[in-house]
Structures are given as structure tokens and as C-alpha cells.
Amino acid sequence: MSTIVFDERAPRWIRELTRFAPLHSLVLLHGNVLDLASYPVETEGDTYWTESDIAGFLRRFLTGRGYDVVGVLDPVDGLALATDEMRQRYQALCGSGLPQETRSPPRNPQNPGRSVASGLEAEVDNIRRALRSREAANAFVIVHASRLVTSPNMPSRQETDLMLRLLKAAQEATEVVHEDGPLRNLLVLVCDKLNDLPAYLYVGNPRARAIHVDRPDATDRTRFLRSRYRAFHDAGGDGPDEELCGRFSALTDGLTNFELLSLVSLSRREEISARDIEVLCERFKYGVRESPWDKVDRERLDGAEALFNSRVRGQTRALTRALDLVKRARLGLAAGSRGPAQRPRGVLFFAGPTGVGKTETAKCLAQLVFGHEDRLLRFDMSEYGAEHADQKLMGAPPGYVGYEEGGQLTNQVKRNPFSVLLFDEIEKAHPSLLDKFLQILDDGRLTDGQGETVYFNETVIIFTSNLGTAAPREDPAAALARALGGGSAEDDAAMPGGVPLVGPEMSYEEMSRVILGRIRDHFNFELGRPEILNRFGDNFVVFDFIRPPVAAEIAGLLLSGLCEHLVRERALEITIGEEVREAVVALACENLAHGGRGVRNVVDAAVVNPLARWLFDHAVERDARLRLVRLVDNGDQAPNRFQLELEGA
């Protein structure tokens, strides 16, 4: 006869159950309870591992511990007892009125919910009688206990009555003198999460013990591979070596026992060897047959510089760092890595002034690696500054508004596991989000509000920030109030815009030093989270200001684009005179603090708007040849500051 092994080879939660079940009358199992239970069994001196659902394991466990009656109560299927002998003893303990087959009662078509609830209450009352008995050792398991209460904080009267019956059943359970020693009658509740049940069942209850059922740890996963290796496709040799075990354990981190068995099935069905564990896990997690990273070849990288330069100007340093990241991510290299990478493929922190190409660089990365800039998933962190912003990104927990919808970030990554994630203006996010980001950066995965694991190890993650470009500007009214003794520094409001800390007149080296210093101060002192700063490491990329030569280049590109658009859409041939070009460039260089967006604003204000006004006023819509010969600046106070003089109409 086979028996369960309870030594150090057994999972931690089984060893805890073995230790504490004899000491308590109520045990609450929570956590990974919907998974298969994997445990060692000994038969005639040989030990092997087997799996069963948690109800099957508990039935076997409790029977092996010597209980005379072992029953499993399912809210849908009713009470099931292991043997006919147990059913007869149970009937004798509870009275002769019980039916021969102990199952859930028939539903009442007029009020089916009431029938089921009444049946559960009646069955719990019978279990309560059995647990009070000293004639036999009784143990009962109630599975799916989380479904017995709609809301543990606001249970209905009927649900409260049922929970109170369970509490009293545990309180009244007796100890039975057994041939192998005393056995305490036992009630086991199996729930998804401990707080799915009212706290009064387990908080301050000396008869209760909560035990968390863990997912397989690294030792369990290594053991699984060793014991199941022959079941994988093309499993040759004597068994897995240490290197393969390490890779398997790293790549299957977070998987359940059921999912580990599914890996074996997938291996055989699609003929993927366990030695190709990277391919097997990628197929299992993402359902794709090839990784876009494998398509990033030398030819594509050779054209990367032209792609970036066509869309981002004056950021040679940022281009170099971005391409270095792609090359490293393509090869899967990481300092100190001893196995398959579980972290994101790459992490960058873009800092610097506004409008200089940070977002555009991220779009270029998405197009370079994944073939289209739509693979850039952008999250404006100013929208996640509230206290519970993590629920918006990762999903609300059960019972909260929005639980069914999931999280905005986790939903996107589940749909697009190969993507570039852009977290824009990270300093505006609520500090509670930083712990989530730290988990993503360290582990490459995250559990969403619905309990599903989301993997980030095929993504590139980019954070952007304007930290260090400006200091908050003090509200004059608040400053005066403080000077007069009527306020404090903590009460000061910050004026919008702020005081510039860096400017285009500074060298890149000086500007970079100021910005990086401000970022370090923000994480180290203002947030008190130096570990986040350390996780970014040397992945900070400071973007330069748009310098005058680059501003002139951008202005020229925008003007050329305008002319091409008019020819293509309206057959209007527009020639821009040199005087107009020089005037536009001069205006663009007057305010370089706004970057490329500032240059675009100048072109719109000085050329696009007055040109549109002139075309409309002169009823010129198609098929014309015009030359812009002069740009007139009427001053800021004029109704129309800029006017164009044209010829050739």
C-alpha cells in the first residue's frame, strides 16, 4: 500500500499541514489551491511523485492519518465520502434520517438559490454533529469555500448564518481516543484567498490555523524536470544535467504544477525537446512560433542609423545608446547573468528637456525591433498620480470596482508581449507604483488583479523624465505668508512652469551633470528609494537641447514637408524664398528651450497660418504656383502677428 511521504522532500505547505492539523480543529488552506497538488508517495520502498487536485490529496492525506470518516463537501456536488463504510458511519453519527447517497439536494425551480443554501446549511449541521462525536475520528473538507460568501465585509444574513455554523462546528469539535493515539476532529476550508472569508473565522481564533499553499519553488521545478524528463519529447541520455536544470528552473519561475505538466504535453505534441527549453517556454507563455528578436539581424541594424536620423535630429548620443541596447538584447547579454534572462530585454531612462525626441526615439526602437511603431505602448504617468493608481495599471483586486476589466498595463502586455513600454514623466506617478516597477525590472513578471501572471521578459522598458530641467517656482503669495509668519514651507504651492535649471546656452556635459544630479537627489532623498535608482544602473540617456544648427535643419524639413503636402493634396507649387527661410530659422532659434515642438510651433505661426489665411482670402485652392518672398512680423500685440508677401499668383 502506498503512503504519502511527509519528510523534507514534501512541499512546505504539506509539512505544515502535517504539523498543525493535529493541534487545531479548523485549518484554512489558501493560495495556489486551484492547482494540482504534487507530493511524494512511497510504495514498497520506492518513492515517486504524483499529482491530484487538492480535494483528492486531502482525502488521501486524512485517510492515511487514521481518520474513520473523511468527507469532501462541494457547494455544487454536495458531500462525498471516500468509502461505503465511511458513509454508513457518517449516517450513524448524524442520525438515520440521512439518505443513502449523500449528495446536494434537488434544486427548487421557483427559488434555486434558497434550495442550495438550505442544503448547505443542513449539511453543515450534519458535519457539526459528526465533529462533536467522540465515537469516531472525523475530518471534513469544504472546497471552493471562497464562493460561499459574496462579500466577506458585507455578507448577507444567510451567509452570516452559514459562516457562524462553520465557526461553531470548529469550536465544538472534540478529540477522539484512537487506536494510534488521540485524533482531533477536523474541519478544513479551502479558499482562494484568506480574506475571501470573514476574518472572525481565523483572527483571534486559537482553534484555527491558516496555511498558504505555495506555487512550485526552484527546488520543486528542478525535481519535476528530473522525475519527468523521460516524458518530454526526444529525451535522450541519462537525464538532465545541472545546466539544463538551472535553465528550466529559471524559465519556469511562477508556473503552477498544472502548467508544468502542460509543458510536457506541449513538448510531445509539437516535438520540442526539453533541451530547447527556451523555445518550449516561449511557445507556452506567448503562443508564438518565433520571436521578433530573432529577426533583428545585421542588415536591419545597419539601416537603423538612417531610420533614427530621419525622425530624430541632434541626438547622436541617444542613438548610440539605443542601438547598443538593441544589440545587447538581441544577444541576450546581461552582466552577472548565470542563466536565461527573466528581466526585460532592455531598460532605458530618457531624461532631458521637453520636445527633443524622447518619445520619437522610443517609436523608432519599436519600429526597428518589432517592425511597426504601433508596438510602442505609451503610458502618461501624470494620469497615475492618485493613491490607488496601481489598480488602474495592474488591475483591481476581487470585490473592487473594475476587477473584471483588468489593468491597463497588464492587459496590453498580455495582448502584446513583444513591445516597447514607454512610461512618460515617471516622476508624476504615485510612489506606490515604484514597487510594482521594481518587481517588473527585477523579476520580469507581475501578477495582475485577477491572479494571472504577466511576463515582461520580451519587452523593452523606457522611462522618461523632465527632472532637472526646471525647479518649482514658489507662489509669491505663499512666500509672503511664510515671511509674515502665516505659513510654512510645507504649505507652499508651486507655480506652473518652474525656474529653468538648464538652458541651450550650457554645454551638453554641464547640462547632463545638472540633470543627472537632480535625478539622483529625487530618488535618493525626496523619495527615499535608492534601490530604484540602482536598478536603472548606467541606463540613463540625457537628451541634448535642440541647438541652432539642428533647429535650422528641423525648420527646413518642416517647410519642405509643407510644400510636398500642398503639391500632393492640392497641386499647389509653393517656393519658399531664402529671406523667408532665414526669418523662420531666426525665430526658431530665439526659443530653443521648447525643443523640436517649439520649432514646429514657429513654422505653424509664421508660415502655415498666414499662408492659409492668404490662400483663403484670395480664393486660391488648387493648381497654382506661388513664391513666398517676405515674412512680415507685426509684433506680439498685433491681431495677426505674421504676414506673408507672395508673388506669382
The CATH number of residue 96's host domain is 3.40.50
Domain membership flag for residue 478: no
Confirm whether 474 is domain-assigned. Answer: no
Whether 74 and 106 map to the same domain: the answer is yes
The answer to whether residue 177 sits within a structural domain is: yes
Pick the more confident residue, 335 or 383: 383
Report DSSP state, residue 216. P
* Confidence (pLDDT) at 517: 93
pLDDT given for residue 481 in this prediction: 55
* Same domain assignment for residues 42 and 119: yes
Mean pLDDT for the stretch of residues 357-368: 92
**110-147 burial: b if 16+ Cβ within 10 Å, else e:** eeeeebbbebbeebbebbbbbbebeebbbbbbbbbbbe
Cell numbers 455554523 label which residue?
165
253-309 tens-digit pLDDT: 889 999 999 999 999 999 999 989 988 988 898 786 667 887 777 777 888 888 888
Query: The C-alpha cell of 78 is what?
Result: 454536495
Identify each DSSP E strand in 386-493 by its residue range. Answer: 420-424, 445-447, 453-455, 460-465, 470-474
Out of 434, 450, 465, pick the residue that ends a domain.
465
Alpha carbon distances (Å) from 401 to 153, 354, 398, 436, 448: 15, 36, 8, 20, 15
Q: Tell me, yes or no, whether 136 and 177 share the same domain.
A: yes
Q: Grid cell 520619437 — which residue?
A: 360
Per-residue pLDDT, averaged over 505-519, amounts to: 92
| Residues 338 and 389 grouped into a single domain | yes
Rg (CA), the chain: 34
Pick from 429, 427, 424, 420: nearest CA to 464: 424
pLDDT of 475 over the 80 cut: no
Instruction: Please tell me whether residues 225 and 147 are part of one structural domain.
Output: no
Say how far residue 306 (Cα) sits from the centre of its chain: 34
pLDDT at 647 over 90: no
How many of the other CB atoms lie within 10 Å of CB of 339?
12
Bigger pLDDT: 44 or 265?
A: 265
Task: Choose one of 248, 268, 288: the last residue of a domain.
Answer: 288
492 against 401, higher pLDDT:
401
pLDDT of residue 341: 57
Is the domain of 72 the same as that of 130? yes
Query: pLDDT tens digits for 615-633?
Result: 999 888 888 899 999 999 9
Q: What is the pLDDT of residue 599?
A: 92
- Angle between helix 578-590 and helix 595-603 axes, rounded to 10 deg: 140
User: Do 261 and 231 share a structural domain?
Assistant: yes
Closest by alpha carbon to 189, among 166, 164, 157?
166
Tell whether 30 and 174 lie within a shared domain: yes
Asked if the structure places residue 499 within a domain, the reply is: no
Q: Is a pLDDT exceeding 50 seen at residue 235? A: yes
Domain count, the chain: 4
Answer whether residue 46 shows pLDDT above 90: no
Lowest mean pLDDT among 25-29, 104-108, 154-158, 286-290: 104-108
Residue 494 reports pLDDT greater than 50: no
Contact 472, 495 (CB under 8 A): yes
Closest to 295 (Cα-Cα) out of 242, 369, 189: 369
Q: Which three cell numbers stand for residue 413?
A: 502586455
pLDDT-derived band at 405 (thresholds 50, 70, 90) equals confident
What would the grid cell of residue 609 be?
497660418
- Using 50, 70 and 90 to split pLDDT, how confident is the model at 335? very low
pLDDT in tens, 412-449: 999 898 999 999 999 999 988 988 999 999 889 898 88
Q: What secondary structure letter does DSSP report for 4?
A: E
Tens of pLDDT, residue by residue over 52-68, are 999 999 999 999 999 99
Render pLDDT for 566-575 as a digit per residue (tens, 0 to 9): 999 989 999 9
pTM recorded for the entire structure: 0.67
My answer on whether 172 and 301 are in the same domain is no
In contact, 14 and 257? CB cutoff 8 Å? no
Instruction: Say which CATH number the domain at 563 has.
Output: 1.10.8.60
Per-residue pLDDT, averaged over 92-118, amounts to 49
What single-letter amino acid sits at 384? Y
Where residue 28 falls among pLDDT bands split at 50, 70, 90?
very high
Q: What percent of the chain has a predicted confidence (pLDDT) above 70?
A: 89
Question: What pLDDT was estimated at residue 117?
Answer: 52
Pick from 172, 197, 213: which residue ends a domain?
213
- What pairs with residue 48 in β-bridges? 41
pLDDT tens sequence across 148-162: 998 888 899 999 999
Q: Examine residue 71 and state whether it is found in any structural domain, yes or no.
A: yes
pLDDT in tens, 68-81: 999 999 999 999 99
Determine the residue type at 583: A
Q: Say if residue 250 is in the same domain as residue 236.
A: yes
Band of pLDDT at residue 311, cut at 50, 70 and 90: confident
Q: Is pLDDT at 354 greater than 80 in this prediction?
A: yes
pLDDT at 200 over 70: yes
Residue 116 has pLDDT above 80, yes or no: no
pLDDT for 100 equals 43
DSSP strand pairing (175-176 vs 346-351)? unpaired
Q: How much is the pLDDT for 486?
A: 52
Residue 484 maps to a domain: no
Least trusted range by pLDDT, from 137-146, 332-341, 549-558: 332-341
Question: Which helix H or strand E contains 184, and what residues bound it?
Answer: strand 183-184
Do 459 and 377 lie in a common domain? yes
Q: What per-residue confidence (pLDDT) applies to 477?
A: 56
Residue 62 in any domain: the answer is yes
| Least confident interval from 8-12, 145-149, 331-335 | 331-335
Share in percent of the chain as helix, strand, coil (round to 5): 50, 20, 35
- Choose the weakest-confidence range: 273-282, 326-335, 492-501, 557-566: 492-501
Q: Is the pLDDT of residue 103 over 60?
A: no
Q: What is the pLDDT of residue 1?
A: 63
Supply the mean pLDDT for the chain: 86
C-alpha cell at position 53: 487536485
User: What is the rounded distance in angstroms from the CA atom of residue 572 to the CA atom of residue 88?
Assistant: 96
Over range 580-586, report the average pLDDT. Answer: 93
**Do 53 and 201 fall into the same domain?**
yes
pLDDT computed for residue 119 by the predictor: 79
For position 473, what pLDDT does the model report? 61
Residue 488 counted as domain residue: no
CA dist., res. 465 & res. 350, Å (int): 6
The whole-number pLDDT of residue 131 equals 96
- Give the structural domain span for 143: 3-213
| Cα–Cα distance, 615 to 648 (Å, whole number) | 13
